[in-house]
Structure 1
Amino acid sequence: MLQSLGWKRPTAIVAGLFGITTILSGGMALFGGVAAKAAVGDAVPLVLWFNFLAGFGYVVGAAALFTLAPWARLVAWLIGISTLLVFAIFIVIAMSGAPFEWRTVGAMVLRSGFWLSIAIALSNGGKKMEPAT
């Protein structure tokens, strides 16, 4: 599916919804009441802030992808790589014994995988990827 040109706009819609959802949930966790903050559990503040702010980048990336802007690939790479970097920092924090939520691991894998997949597909220029020999 990613090899055809028809994947970009549907993926952009998913990315935009993902961004809006990320902004809303992150905003509730950061700025909501006591109950909203309690529902977050042992969130790592750096990751929480990063994901909230990245949600705005998701919306920008979604708009770039939807309009087939040439800079969509750059945005996807920036989001994907920065998410991986924050994920690495999160792992170091978690391994140091700081409390954390296991759901953050899954969320970071999903977020980085989603954007890196888009970046790779855009970098591939729509050509079918050949297996390594």
Structure 2
Amino acid sequence: MELKKRSGWGLRAVAMAGLAFGLLTILSGGNALFGSAAARAAVGNAVPFVLWFNFLAGFAYVAAAVGLLMLRRWGLWLSVAIVIATALVFIAFGIYVQLGGLFEMRTVGAMILRIGVWGIIALVARRSLGGR
């Protein structure tokens, strides 16, 4: 039995938000990693593995958003993978902090935001595209 895909405004809206989020993530992460000395200094005590993960995840955000806009089920599963991978990196970040690593408090908020945004995107995609 074929699942009917519901491609209403909700899926398109979250996909467009995910696309914008991805492009902004690539831009800001690229600036923090490859920008001027002043731009790199502005990130403060950024945790390198979190910074690199978030930068590279920006490309996955764009890919997932495109998949969702094309009503492809892989866009849903990539969205779920993004949430899981981000949560795992957040756990690793927490361990790093507990071991005394230097960090910026804004990283905590940014990781919570990323998990929340992609959690919502994945839920809307699941509702619209089905889970199989």
Gaps of at least 5 residues in structure 1 are 128-133
- Cα distance in 2 for residues equivalent to 1:102 and 1:63: 31
**Could you say which residue in structure 2 is the equivalent of 1:130?**
none
- After superposition, where does 1:63-74 map in structure 2 within 5 Å? 63-74=66-77
- Cα distance in 1 for residues equivalent to 2:64 and 2:19: 8
Aligned residue-pair number: 125
Higher relative contact order (CA 8 A, sep 6+): 2
The amino acid across from 1:84 in the alignment is A
**Could you say which residue in structure 1 is the equivalent of 2:86?**
83
Counterpart pick for 1:40 among 23, 43, 46: 43
Counterpart secondary structure, 1:71: helix
- Cα distance in 2 for residues equivalent to 1:125 and 1:9: 10
The question of whether the paired residues in 2 share the 8 Å contact of 1:81 and 1:116 is answered with no
- Cα distance in 2 for residues equivalent to 1:11 and 1:124: 12
User: Cα distance 1:62–1:4, how it changes in 2: closer, same or farther (>3 A)?
Assistant: closer
User: Cα distance 1:65–1:28, how it changes in 2: closer, same or farther (>3 A)?
Assistant: same
For the pair 1:121 / 2:124, whether they are aligned, the reply is: yes
CA root-mean-square deviation = 1.8
TM value normalised by structure 2: 0.88
Q: CA deviation at 1:70?
A: 1.6
Q: Percent of pairs identical after alignment?
A: 50
For the pair 1:52 / 2:55, whether they are aligned, the reply is: yes
TM value normalised by structure 1: 0.87
Counterpart pick for 2:33 among 12, 30, 35: 30
Gaps of at least 5 residues in structure 2 are 1-5
- Cα distance in 2 for residues equivalent to 1:16 and 1:44: 25
- Cα distance in 1 for residues equivalent to 2:105 and 2:53: 17
